[in-house]
Amino acid sequence: MFRITVTGGKGGTGKSFVAVNLALLLAKHFRTVLVDLDLEAPNDHILLSIDKLENEEPIKLFLPFINTSKCTKCGVCAKVCDTGAILLPGGAYPIIFPRLCSGCKACYYACPYNAIIEGYHVLGYVYRTSIIIENTELTLVTGVLREGEEHVPPGVNYTRKKAEEIETDILLMDTGAGTGNQISIALKNVDLTIIVTEPTPLGIHDMSNVLKITNEMGIRTWTIINKSSIGDTSKIYEISNKYNVEKIYEIPYHRDVVSSYVERKPIVVKYKNSPITRVFNEVAQSIMELVRSNGK
Amino acid sequence: MKIAITTNKGGLDDQIADRFGRAPTFTIVELDDNTLEIKNVYVVENPGSKAGSGAGVRAVQKLADEKVNIVIGPNPGPNAYIALQQSGIRIYAMTGMSAKEALKRVIEELKKK
């Protein structure tokens, strides 16, 4: 399985735009799974004109319960809890604060009396939807966090795990904005990272943050400069070279992109001769060469 | 009886800290159960002040470990509020004055009962 992650740091640079269009091009030649790891605001399905996500499965996160017949009120669970989700009031049994619990299971393993019962709470849902666009089949795995949930990384982890279970040639992961923990989960053990940025101060700043991570992790990295015609791209080239970026592509600001957005039809399907589609074809071609050579 | 006051640097001359879970220190005052005279004053660090998350719960845990009966400070957050209730610690919500002044008022209140 060849794993690709599309990320970029700044929101609104076009990560989902790139991921969706590349997935459709790759799916013509390889079995492809697109994974929407932006659990707080998943929207690849919107770009793909999917109105109803299918095959719902809950994302379960460990939540401790206290077996009061075994508990000795020793307080070990409260001491090891990294998020301060367990309180040991004087003389009473431990109290769990579910909203604070990150499901790390430290209390479960630390309890010397096996008094922690393994429970769970539902963090969100994973969906698996298959679509066919122009005789090309594409599988979309989407993770959705429930409203009010604070713990994103375990949800991202679970969604990726579910997607990894599917037998496929290419796993294309689309991350949310930011450079935090949930992004690094999507960067673990991948063959290629595509950083989508734009020539704006925020785009450049966040791109260099992501590049620091990918460079540190030793991941093969390409950059796509989206809306490249709206600003000065020289700084992006400079930083990309500094962090060993292998390839840089430019997607100019173009009317076709906007109208494909409005019509909910991915640009590679709607405007086959657009200059934007040409760039995507070029990127997809390079990816396929890599896949065929097993990433060498 | 033990009364804790959320403070910054600690001590009775300090001002009451304006946040509950993230107050840097607790100034703990031991009172004689009958006469309500101050027997001892000491300062402890609040583990909640440096915690990544769950500051309120950690702060209350410290108070429970110190066997505090009453805490003087700003309004606690939702988690700290439940934790205080479960631990049986009463809160006197007071800010904008020195620890000494707040303590004096609470002791007066206790003497009325």
Q: What average pLDDT does this structure show over A133-151?
A: 93
pLDDT tens digits for A34-49?
999 999 999 999 999 9
The position carrying tokens 């000795």 is A72
The sheet carrying A136-145 orders its strands as A57-66, A116-133, A136-145, A32-37, A170-175, A2-7, A192-197, A221-226, A247-251
Within 8 A of A97 by CB-CB distance, chain B residues are: 54, 57, 79, 82-83
Residue A137 carries which DSSP code?
Answer: E
Distance from CA of B113 to the nearest CA of A (A): 25
Within 8 A of A84 by CB-CB distance, chain B residues are: 48, 51, 53-58, 61
CB contact under 8 A, B88 and A89: yes
Which H helix or E strand runs over A217? helix A201-217
Cα–Cα distance between B35 and A172 in angstroms, integer? 72
Is a pLDDT exceeding 60 seen at residue A296? no
Task: Show the tokens assigned to A209.
Answer: 């943050």
pLDDT of res. B52? 82
pLDDT tens digits for A118-128?
999 999 999 99
CB contact under 8 A, B57 and A86: yes
What's domain A2-58+124-292's superfamily in CATH?
A: P-loop containing nucleotide triphosphate hydrolases (3.40.50.300)
Of A79, A210, A177, A61, the residue nearest B58 (C-alpha): A79
pLDDT of res. A246? 94
CB contact under 8 A, A87 and B60: yes
CB contact under 8 A, B87 and A87: yes
Size of interface A-B (CB pairs under 8 A): 52
CATH number belonging to the domain at B2-112, selected among 3.30.420.130, 3.40.720.10, 3.40.50.150, 3.10.129.10: 3.30.420.130
pLDDT tens digits for B64-107?
999 999 999 999 999 999 999 999 999 999 999 999 999 999 99
Q: Residue A295 — very low, low, confident or very high, per pLDDT cuts 50/70/90?
A: low
Cα–Cα distance between B91 and B82 in angstroms, integer? 12
Cα–Cα distance between B109 and A233 in angstroms, integer? 69
Is a pLDDT exceeding 60 seen at residue A231? yes
Q: What average pLDDT does this structure show over A161-184?
A: 94
Distance from CA of A131 to the nearest CA of B (A): 41
Q: What average pLDDT does this structure show over A93-103?
A: 92
Query: Which residue in the set A78, A99, A100 is minimally distant from B61, CB to CB?
Result: A78
Q: What average pLDDT does this structure show over A130-155?
A: 93
Query: Which residue in the set A84, A89, A95 is minimally distant from B53, CB to CB?
Result: A84
pLDDT of res. B84? 94
Fold for A68-114, please state it.
Alpha-Beta Plaits (3.30.70)
Query: Which residue in the set B57, B67, B82 is minimally distant from A84, CB to CB?
Result: B57
Query: Which residue in the set B53, B54, B87 is minimally distant from A89, CB to CB?
Result: B87
- The answer to whether A240 touches A194, Cβ cutoff 8 Å, is no
Our separate counts of H helices and E strands in chain A read 11, 11
Cα–Cα distance between A44 and A48 in angstroms, integer? 6
Residue-range domain boundaries for chain A: 2-58+124-292, 68-114
* C-alpha distances out from residue A30 to A11, A291, B112, Å: 29, 9, 81
* C-alpha distances out from residue A186 to A177, A192, A218, Å: 12, 11, 14
By CA distance, what is B83's nearest residue in A? A87
Q: What average pLDDT does this structure show over A96-113?
A: 93
Q: What average pLDDT does this structure show over B25-43?
A: 94
Within 8 A of B88 by CB-CB distance, chain A residues are: 89-90
CB contact under 8 A, B61 and A87: yes
Query: Which residue in the set B48, B79, B87 is minimally distant from A97, CB to CB?
Result: B79
pLDDT tens digits for B47-63?
999 888 889 999 999 99
By CA distance, what is A92's nearest residue in B? B87
* ipTM for this prediction: 0.80
pLDDT of res. A149? 87
- The answer to whether A162 touches A173, Cβ cutoff 8 Å, is no
Within 8 A of B54 by CB-CB distance, chain A residues are: 81, 83-85, 97, 100
What lies within 8 Å, CB to CB, of B85 at 6+ separation is: none
Is a pLDDT exceeding 80 seen at residue A113? yes
Q: What spatial distance separates the first Cα and last Cα of chain B, rounded to whole Å?
A: 15
pLDDT of res. B53? 84
Within 8 A of B61 by CB-CB distance, chain A residues are: 78, 84, 87-88
Query: Which conformational region is residue B10 in: left (phi greater than 0), alpha (psi within -120 to 50 degrees), or beta?
Result: left
Cα–Cα distance between A266 and A277 in angstroms, integer? 10
* C-alpha distances out from residue B64 to A77, A88, B59, B95, Å: 16, 8, 9, 22
pLDDT of res. B51? 85
Matching fold, domains A2-58+124-292 and A68-114: no
CB contact under 8 A, B53 and A92: no
Q: Which amino acid is at A172?
A: L
pLDDT of res. A181? 87
pLDDT of res. B82? 93
Distance from CA of B51 to the nearest CA of A (A): 8
By CA distance, what is B67's nearest residue in A? A90
pLDDT of res. A197? 96
Within 8 A of A154 by CB-CB distance, chain B residues are: none
Q: What is the mean pLDDT of chain A?
A: 94
Q: What average pLDDT does this structure show over A270-285?
A: 95
3-state SS, residue A193: strand
User: Which of A90-99, A193-202, A250-259, B15-24 has the weakest average pLDDT?
Assistant: A90-99
Residue B48 carries which DSSP code?
Answer: G
